[in-house]
Structures are given as C-alpha cells and as structure tokens.
Amino acid sequence: MKRFAALFQRLDETTKTSLKTAAMADYFRDAPDDDRLWTVALFSGRRPRRAVNATQLREWAAERAGIDQWLFEESYPIVGDLAETITLILPPPSAQSDLSLSHWINVLRGLHHVPLEERKARILEAWEQLETAERFLFNKLITGGFRIGVSQKLMTRALSMATGRDEAEMQHRLMGDWQPDTTSWHALIEAEDASADLSRPYPFYLAYQLDEGPDALGAPEDWRADWKWDGIRGQLILREGQHFLWSRGEELMTDRFPELARSLDFLPSGTVLDGEVLAFTEGAPLPFNALQKRIGRKTVPKKLLKEAPIILYAYDLLELEGADQRAEPYDTRRARLDELLKDLPPEAPVRLSPQLSFSDWSDLGRIREGARDAQAEGVMLKRGDSPYLAGRKKGDWWKWKLDPLTIDAVLIYAQQGHGRRANLFTDFTFAVRDGNGLTPFTKAYSGLTDEEFRQITDWVRKNTLERYGPVRQVRPEHVFEIAFEGIFESPRHKSGVALRFPRMSRWRRDKPVNEANTLDDLKEMLAAYG
Amino acid sequence: MAREPVLTFTPSGIYCPAGDFHIDPWRRVSRALITHGHADHARPGHGRYLATEAAMPVIRHRLGDIAIDTIRYGETRQIGGATVSFHPAGHVPGSAQIRVEVGGEVWVVSGDYKTEADGLSEPFEPVRCHAFITECTFGLPVFRWTPQEEVAAAINRWWAANAAEGRASILGAYSLGKAQRVLAALDPSIGPILTHGAVEATNRVMRDQGIALPDTLHVGPDFDAKAHPGPLVVAPPSALGSAWARRFRGASTGFASGWMRLRGVRRRRAADRGFVLSDHADWDGLLGAIRATEAERIFVTHGYTDIFARYLNEAGWDAQVVTTEYSGESLDEPASDGPADDVTEGAT
C-alpha cells in the first residue's frame, strides 16, 4: 500500500497535469502487475464489491476512536468525505505494514465470506496497520467513489508514456467490460491482439462547445451540420451476430434498450454506429423526459416500451464489414453510413440522423433557432475532411447549442458540498413566488465562482432560520438567475415542473425578492417549451 | 443579593463589572485588556489598552498611536474591585490568557491558544480557575496536529526539492505569528528566504523587541526575483494568487494552516502543498487545557462551539456557548491585517 499511497500523495499535492502524468507513468513502470492492473481499474471507476456498509464503518470508527456516534456524525459533514473522516478520527496506527495494494483489496474481497464480527475484526486490524494516507485509500476502496483528480484521459496518457504505446490505442484497450479478475496487466495493456473482445467499443469523439458562433471556423463549405440531439449518446456494436450498446460513460446499456436487438435483422455483423438513443414515435423524437423514464431501468415494462419506444439516430460509422473506419474522412464515413441505412424500413430501430444543408453561417444560424421545435438542443458542426478522433479534441467537431432558458428564483435552502466543496455551501434549493409564499421548484449546484460560493457561504452561516439535519433554511433574500435546457411537467414536484440541467447563471444582487419570477411564469414556460 | 458574575458577555465584548473593563472587545470601550495583536482581538478605537510587554510592539504597530499600558506575565494588577494578571497562551509571541479574580472567584479568558511549544512564543501555562472562557477553533476530534519538528522537516524537504529544480517555493502563512514561526523553523542553508511586505513589517517589529529570526529579504516593487534562485517566500495567504506572487514564475505554492488537515479545504485553495500547522490547540490540546484549569464552568467563544459545548456537557462539565465576534484561524487573513502600504503592494 505504501507505493500506492506515495503515488496518491504525488497526485494529490499538485494541480499540474504534467506532474500528475509523470507520477503515474513512474508508478506504471515499476509497480507489480497486480497492483498496476488494480490501479488502472480503480482510476477507471472499477472497484472491489462493497463488503461492509457505511453505517457499520461509522460505528466501528467511532467506537475505536472512543467517541459517541453523534460526534462522529457532526464531524462528517465538516470533513465532507466519509473515508477521510474515519481516517482522521481514528487514533494513529500502532503498527506498520508493507503489504501491497492488491493484498488489501483481497482482504476486502475476502470479507464477503465471513460473518460480520470477523469483518469488523479484519477492518480494525487493517486500520491499526495503515498510516494516514494508506488508511484513507483503504477506506476509499471500501466506500467507493475513487475521485482523486485523475481523469481517464490523464491515466491513458501516463500508460502510453510508461509503455511507449500510442495513446489512442491505449484508450481503445481500456474501453469495454473488463474487470481485474477477467484480465491481466499483460492481456489488457501489452498483448498484441487487443481486439479479441467482441464487445469492445471505440473511444467516443467528443465535441467542444462553440461559444462565439461559427464565423471563426472558416469557409462554411468545409463544414457539415446535423442536429444536436437531446438524448443519450450511444455506440451500437454489431459483431458476430451479437449486439452491444455502450454509453459515452462506458456503461453497457444493451439490456436497457431491447428494441435495438432487432437491428441485427436489418444490418450486417461487423458494423459499429455512433449516434443518439432517442425516444421516438411517428417519425419524430419525443422530448427528453420520455427517455428519462427509460434511464436507470434495467428491465423495461411493456407499457413503457409502448409509451416511449427508442431508436438509435445514427450519425457516424466507425466500423464497416469488420474494418475500422475512423481514419476515413467524415464525408466518406457519412456517405457509407447513408448507403448502409438508406433502404431500412420504418420498423428498423436504427435511423439516419439527417444532415442539415445550409448556404452560409447566417443561414445555419437561422436553422439553429428552430432547434427546439425539432426536439434538438442546437446544431453540431463537423469538418468534412476530419477523421474520427478519440476523446475531447478541439478543432473538428463543435456543438453550437441554443442559449439556455432562464428564470429568476429565490434561494431558500442551502446544504454543504462534499469533497473539494466541503465546508462551502454549494447545494441550493430555489423557489418562485406564489401569491404571498414561495414554492420550491429546483435545485442547483454549479455556476458560481469560488469567490461567490465563499460569499454565499458566509451569508448562509449568518442567515440560517432553521436547520433540518444538514439542510439549512435561509432568509429568502437572494435572487439567482437559473439557466436550464428544458422544462417538463412533473407530478412528483410540488411546483408541477422539472428542469433539465439547471444551474446558477448569475447572482442577481440587483434584484429584490419581489422581482423574482412567479409560479405562473414557470407554468407559461412549461406551456411554451414543455 | 446574588453576587454578580466575575465576567459578563455584553454586545461590546467580555466585560468585568467589578473592574469596569472589557477583554478583547469588538466595540469601542473606555478600557480594554488585550490578549494578543490579531485583528479580531485587538481592535482600534478604545480609550485605554493593557497588554503584555511582549505583545505591545505589534499592537502599537498595527493600531498606531494608542494609549497602551503594559504588564509582565504573572504580574498582578488591581483594577477597581478586580485583580488581573496575564499568563502565556502559546498562540503567538506576547499572547496571553487573562486571569480575573473578584472576591476569591477566578475566571480566565483564554484568548487564542495552543498547547504545543513552538520555540518562539512563551509556552502555554494552564491557570487554575473556577470558570474558563475558551476558544475552540479546532474543537472536533478530526483535528489532531503532528509535532512541529515533523511539519518543519516537511516544509524544508519541499523547499529543498523545489530549489534543486530551480523553482521558488511560496508559502502562505499569517503575517503575524505563523509567518515568524515558520521562519524560525526553516533551514537557511537551503537557500534565500524572502518575505512579503506584510510579513516583513511584523518581522521588523519582532526583531526590534529581541526575537531572533533568520535573515530575510523583503520583496518590494523593484525586487529582482531572478537574482535569488530557489528561494522560500513567506507571504500572507491573500498574496498567494496575486500579481505580487506572479513574479516567481513556475513557483510551487504551499499553505500553512490547521485547516490543511482537511483534504477538501487543501484542494479548494489550489495550493500545491498543505502543511498542517496551527497556532490553535487541537482536540486533545483543548481538552487537556480545560482539564488542567480544573474549572467546572466552561464558556466556548469561537470555533465549532455547539458541538464542542455538547461534548463537554456530556463529559460532565457545565459548558455553554457565548456568541462573540472572534474569527479564530480563518483561511484568509483579514484585509485590515498589516499596515496599509503593504496591503496595497500585495493587492492585484
């Protein structure tokens, strides 16, 4: 664990990407195979199955520290992280240990097979042997959420530095459904045949946001446009008579969208499509909240399949007849995609996302204004001669979104954030005016600067009216402009509406509460945009 | 007739009716006894001040031409019906707890304190009393300090590693107290030690009163940073991301504070390194100090007061929270801290 803790400390004590990458590359060069495989797994969101729950951990930690449970619970929100709270509250360790990261992971995996008392004994024994940083990491292994400022992109770069292999290749190797138990360092990182896994997706190419409009992009004739859909980005893989659907977050979503199983009836194996999963009926996409009902459902009831059937709106072709198409220019890929999909019958679960033809940038600007009517968020711009790159790269793909909708709302509840935002009030509930009262309608967590978060935190401390656990009701005094991407009817909310991607776009210090928007305003927006 | 308490809590601050004086008041009063020179304890505008001999120079430096009288540690003085004396608090050089005795009943006001000796401040001495008015800035069991030698060694290692790579190290530390404590712990053989104006001004005052600090160079407007490679630069926290600091291109930044014990706070500061170094007592320090006073009544003034008071009550003390305007160890030094000319220099 010491080597892994040393890596963690090097990563944690710098904000510079180059130093983080170097630290990881050093680690990947010399760590034992099991340890480095687990490190790749942890930094890509995989972790050992949880063997003890958070309540048990808290009780054991408080007991070992010799304090009452309430004192532990009061300390937790101030520290902001459970693993860290336990680490800090325990007395210093009485012993040392040179056991490796994989050893401790195996200890955790062994807990499933032993009774609770034995689990407790083993956890306490581990705490007794691990120093602060090691103990923190050990606790993180249990509680999950290994977010320590290392993106997958950064790790991929470090692996590429350590192995001398191409970054894009490394990124492709790390994709898909592997677990440390089902592979080895050699098979995952070094073996020559990396495509053996049938389900392995290609890394997604991600677009940058175009803030200033397209004028700076050069000649309009070099660019192609299509709608930016408000659905779930997905990669559909058809290989050897099987199909797989991957999300952008590398989650396998095949079972959630059973409609796509039929794509094998219409398309040949050896095909990989990039597109958007959308709820779709009668030739047109449905609003996002129709799809929302499908998200998070592992099995789909018949009624829902009927109400919100989905399709894949395909806009790029990554593999054709088993051959990687990514190096081909976009125009070529798109022509092959058109050819592949042009004769599909309407019952096919895959459709071609249409290209938008435009004469110049102002023409495209006008088309963009109609995005909401098309159930789209804006337009995508793709350079005609560009290859399909891996990850978020500037230059060839841009998203040009509509300006968000906004509403002025009153801050009524505040809660402290976690992790980097511990000790700051960052999680807010907002209300609109409703007669003489206020009706809560949304939460928002982002959009303010650190300085603004500090100021509002100060203010919340001095203007708390009531506490409900970690939530504070505050004096209704501050108005914020809330920006959002869509508005839907929602019987679950008191206000009757739900917003999509709400965030604080401006602190309206100039506005008194009686000038904030009303519930009627919100309902008008629902009628206009819902 | 019920006897009046030795000290009462008024909108102006802690007040002694028998002696008609206040301790560390936040509103203007005629007579103020001051525990130490930090801005939340020593405020301008009082009629008369009383502080320890060692605290006086800094207080005068910060507050200008005030009517201030001094007292030695342990010396007793009669003020009206009260007998007062000042005792080391170990917080910063000259800092004191103030003992007030009226009719045989003893109350002690801790001001800010720490129980670990830092080699610069007069070490904390517990004072037996009936009632103890204590801070609890770090009154949670997650706050436990590592010994100063270990923190000092970590700072010196960080500095040496940066210097070896030709980088400057900028360390954020309160300009009164923490900065000098860090300076005294540095190993001057590693490289040059540079200071921000706000720190240097306090250094000057302390050197004049005979406190030994290593040699430092003041980074003024015309300072040539290139002429002093691999330096350790001590600056107030507010100067850390400022135009002033940008002259040390590629520098590694560090921050010395008890809050650095929390990873979330450390990361929010976006400093490269956090060194857990506080001039306030940690959880064990607070409890140890309270036990040593043998007081039965405890008043907690600032910090995690609700939680700390509840803990004390459950552990058998008679504890209550009093509302004050002390801020303890805040992450950002108040802007009023330090002479005006230096603040301008540090501003972006």
Residues A432-455 have pLDDT tens digits of 999 889 999 999 999 998 889 989
Q: Tell me what the mean pLDDT of segment A488-517 comes to.
A: 89
Q: Which chain A residues are Cβ-neighbours of B304 within 8 angstroms?
A: 74, 78
Q: Is B267 on the interface with A (CB under 8 A)?
A: yes
**Confidence bin at B93 (pLDDT 50/70/90):** very high
Least confident of A183-192, A194-203, A232-241, A325-334: A194-203
Q: A401, A424, A454: which is the final residue of a domain?
A: A401
Report the C-alpha gap between A82 and B299 in whole angstroms: 30
Is pLDDT at B28 greater than 90 in this prediction?
yes
CATH assignment of B148-275? Answer: 3.40.50.10710
Is pLDDT at B137 greater than 70 in this prediction?
yes
Same domain, yes or no: A41 and A138: yes
Same domain, yes or no: A288 and A355: yes
User: Using CB atoms, which residue from A15, A88, A89 is nearest to B272?
Assistant: A15
Q: What pLDDT does B126 receive?
A: 97
Interface of A with B in 230-249 (CB under 8 A): none
**CATH code where residue A412 lies:** 2.40.50.140
Same domain, yes or no: A388 and A454: no
**Confidence bin at B341 (pLDDT 50/70/90):** very low
Interacting residues of B16 by C-beta distance below 8 A, sequence separation 6+ = B6, B7, B8, B22, B23, B79, B82, B100, B102
Query: Which architecture, in CATH terms, is B8-142+280-331?
Result: 4-Layer Sandwich (3.60)
Q: What pLDDT does A292 receive?
A: 79
**Confidence bin at A196 (pLDDT 50/70/90):** low
Tell me which residue range forms the domain holding A14: 2-143
Same domain, yes or no: A80 and A101: yes
Is A278 within 8 Å of A311 (Cβ atoms)?
yes
**Confidence bin at A195 (pLDDT 50/70/90):** low
Report the C-alpha gap between A282 and A488 in whole angstroms: 21
**CATH code where residue A100 lies:** 1.10.3260.10
Distance of CA A424 to the CA centre of its chain: 22
B268: closest CA among A246, A450, A331? A450
Does ipTM come in above 0.85?
yes
Q: A143, A164, A190: which is the final residue of a domain?
A: A143
Q: Tell me what the mean pLDDT of segment A369-392 comes to.
A: 91
Same domain, yes or no: A356 and A419: no
Is A476 within 8 Å of A412 (Cβ atoms)?
yes
Q: What pLDDT does B337 receive?
A: 35
Same domain, yes or no: A270 and A391: yes
Same domain, yes or no: A479 and A394: no
Is pLDDT at A467 greater than 50 in this prediction?
yes
Other C-beta atoms closer than 10 Å to the C-beta of A387 total 16
Q: Which chain B residues are Cβ-neighbours of A71 within 8 angstroms?
A: 140-141, 307, 311
Our CA-based measurement puts residue A87 at a distance from the nearest CA of chain B, in whole angstroms, of 8
Same domain, yes or no: A211 and A354: yes
Same domain, yes or no: A348 and A210: yes
Q: Is A73 on the interface with B (CB under 8 A)?
A: no
In a domain, A524, yes or no: yes
Same domain, yes or no: A389 and A427: no
In a domain, A521, yes or no: yes
Catalytically annotated residue among A120, A228, A382, A401: A228
Our CA-based measurement puts residue B308 at a distance from the nearest CA of chain A, in whole angstroms, of 9
- Judge whether A153 counts as a catalytic residue: no
In a domain, A471, yes or no: yes
Same domain, yes or no: A430 and A372: no
Tell me the per-residue pLDDT of B5-26, one tens digit each, with 9 for 90 and over: 999 999 999 999 999 999 999 9
Q: Which chain B residues are Cβ-neighbours of A68 within 8 angstroms?
A: 314
Q: Tell me what the mean pLDDT of segment B304-324 comes to.
A: 93
What burial class does residue B111 get, using C-beta atoms within 10 Å of its C-beta: 0-12 exposed, 13-18 middle, 19+ buried? buried
Our CA-based measurement puts residue B252 at a distance from the nearest CA of chain A, in whole angstroms, of 9
Q: Tell me what the mean pLDDT of segment A378-401 comes to.
A: 92
User: Using CB atoms, which residue from A75, A420, A450 is nearest to B264?
Assistant: A420
Q: Count chain A–chain B contacts defined by CB atoms under 8 A.
A: 64
Least confident of A307-311, A463-467, B182-186, B335-339: B335-339
In a domain, A162, yes or no: no
In a domain, A183, yes or no: no
Q: What pLDDT does A291 receive?
A: 86
Q: Per DSSP, which regions of A166-283 are E strands?
A: 205-206, 208-209, 223-229, 232-239, 242-247, 271-281
In a domain, A173, yes or no: no
Same domain, yes or no: A410 and A498: yes
In a domain, A67, yes or no: yes
- Mean pLDDT value across chain B: 91
Is pLDDT at B335 greater than 60 in this prediction?
no
> Domain-by-domain residue ranges, chain B?
8-142+280-331, 148-275
Interacting residues of A63 by C-beta distance below 8 A, sequence separation 6+ = none
Count the domains in chain A.
3
User: Using CB atoms, which residue from A13, A80, A423 is nearest to B273?
Assistant: A13
Is pLDDT at A518 greater than 90 in this prediction?
yes
For A52-60, the CB contacts below 8 A with 24+ separation are A52/A111, A52/A119, A52/A120, A52/A123, A52/A142, A54/A82, A54/A143, A56/A116, A56/A119, A56/A120, A57/A82, A57/A86, A57/A123, A57/A139, A57/A142, A57/A143, A58/A82, A58/A86, A60/A120, A60/A123, A60/A124
In a domain, A151, yes or no: no
